[in-house]
Structure 1
Amino acid sequence: MPNILLADDHDLVRDTIAAYLRTVEEFNVLTAPDLGGALELMAGIDSIDLLILDYNMPGMNGLDGLVQAREAHPVAKVAIMSGVANRDVANAAMDRGAHGFIPKSLTADTLVNAIKFILAGERYIPFDFGSNDPREKTSGEFANLSAREMQTLEKLCLGLSNKEIARDLDIQEVTVKLHVKNLLSKLGVSNRTQAALFAKERHLF
């Protein structure tokens, strides 16, 4: 059971998210009201798999708190959560070693998916968060994908490799690579993880 520590100075937000995560998934969720409390709690626990830090809470001092947490507990994955930070802050957080950036505007289902991706070793940031790219503003439109590209996207959502997709669809692996390349371009995303997130967040499959 993954150990998650959620640090946020807003009691209602912290307690509501923690209660939801405990209900929908087999997460062991601990909470803290600030960075100092989180680091103190982590010092007395054998293992925290994911530390989620609110960007604006006491002790953070911008992203300095992220760096401090990473240095104190280099094994734990750390994500930044915020309801006000922009894309530049998100990118800066990732550059400083965050394993994910989680906007508070995410839906509950997407929040859970984001946490799962981070725990699985992926780096998470919503690809269309704060974007000015017009391709990314037309999210949810899959009409320009071919039937085979849709099948490929469905397999990506299941976490299958190109070789596994080729076997399932009875086509050559090089053909799968072409389908993946084309659907990434059509969806305006940069990798297969983002494509899977795009589809899952819109409940395509």
Structure 2
Amino acid sequence: MIRLLIVDDHPVVRDGLRGMLTGDDEFEVLGEAADGAEAVTLAETLRPDVVLMDLRMPGTDGVRAIGMLRERGVPARVLVLTTYDTDSDVLPAIEAGATGYLLKDTPREELFRAVRAAARGEAVLSPSVATRLLGQVRSPAKEPLSQRELEVLGLIARGSTNREAAAHLFISEATVKTHLLHVYGKLGVKDRAAAVAVAFERGLLTPGSGPRS
């Protein structure tokens, strides 16, 4: 029997998943959590085989929760179940350690197969997510980053704040913010973490070496 923890901030979604899964003798739902912090606490206590993890939740989100589970050595496999398949959602979740990534419109039997596969440690991706990840690998950015944008992103990747990056490059903080907005647009992301993740994925940044032209 595969033991599960359901994590979603919407009670109706949790109830629906619980009803679906407990209707099959192969699955046992150990518990439910409404946010990432609660999920980590329950996972440490209940030791599920698979965690069905939503991404966008109040408080501790799914990506942070996945990272916390890895940091604390919780062996559960994490299968993301969300409505979002944008680069800024998919890449951070996979990089944080998710075993699989499914969308909430996944048919029942496909969800069951994915849970079984995740429990075996096999990677599971919905077709649209797989296509998006392949596109990230095969296609360079639509528009290359400028040298200054790479410099700003490199500093951000090393933990600098906007103010610190501005001081280092002898430019204004507003200019740093403008460069970052251009970077987000060119890489197709919405935040700093996703921009850094995509930049490393595409080889624009390399660990310890700063920005590459």
TM-score, normalization by structure 2: 0.55
Which residue pairs with 2:9 in the alignment?
9
Equivalent residue of 2:125, what SS? coil
- Say whether residues 1:103 and 2:75 are aligned partners: no
1:72-87 aligned within 5 A: 72-87=72-87
Which residue pairs with 2:33 in the alignment?
32
Which residue pairs with 2:71 in the alignment?
71
Contact between 1:8 and 1:33, CA under 8 Å: does it hold in 2?
Answer: yes
For 2:64, the aligned partner's letter is D
Offset at 1:41?
1.8
Q: 1:24 to 1:89 in 2, by over 3 A?
A: same
Contact between 1:52 and 1:78, CA under 8 Å: does it hold in 2?
Answer: yes
| More deviation, 74-83/1-10 | 74-83
Offset at 1:64?
2.0
For 1:32, the aligned partner's letter is A
1-side partners of 2:35 and 2:61: how far apart?
11
TM-score, normalization by structure 1: 0.57
Offset at 1:128?
3.4
Which residue pairs with 2:44 in the alignment?
43
Give 5+ residue unaligned stretches, structure 1. 134-205
- Say whether residues 1:92 and 2:92 are aligned partners: yes
Which residue pairs with 1:162 in the alignment?
none
Contact between 1:2 and 1:26, CA under 8 Å: does it hold in 2?
Answer: yes
Offset at 1:70?
2.0
2-side partners of 1:5 and 1:114: how far apart?
15
1:49-68 aligned within 5 A: 49-61=49-61, 63-68=63-68
Q: How far does the alpha carbon of each residue in 1:156-194 deviate from its partner, in whole angstroms, 9 at most, with x for none? A: xxxxxxxxxxxxxxxxxxxxxxxxxxxxxxxxxxxxxxx
Offset at 1:132?
7.0
Q: 1:100 to 1:132 in 2, by over 3 A?
A: closer
Compute the RMSD of aligned alpha carbons: 2.3
For 1:33, the aligned partner's letter is A
Equivalent residue of 2:42, what SS? helix
Q: 1:131 to 1:58 in 2, by over 3 A?
A: same
Offset at 1:93?
1.6
2-side partners of 1:69 and 1:59: how far apart?
16
Contact between 1:8 and 1:32, CA under 8 Å: does it hold in 2?
Answer: yes
| More deviation, 71-80/9-18 | 71-80
Contact between 2:7 and 2:39, CA under 8 Å: does it hold in 1?
Answer: yes
Q: How many residues align?
A: 132
Q: 1:25 to 1:100 in 2, by over 3 A?
A: farther
Q: 1:27 to 1:85 in 2, by over 3 A?
A: same
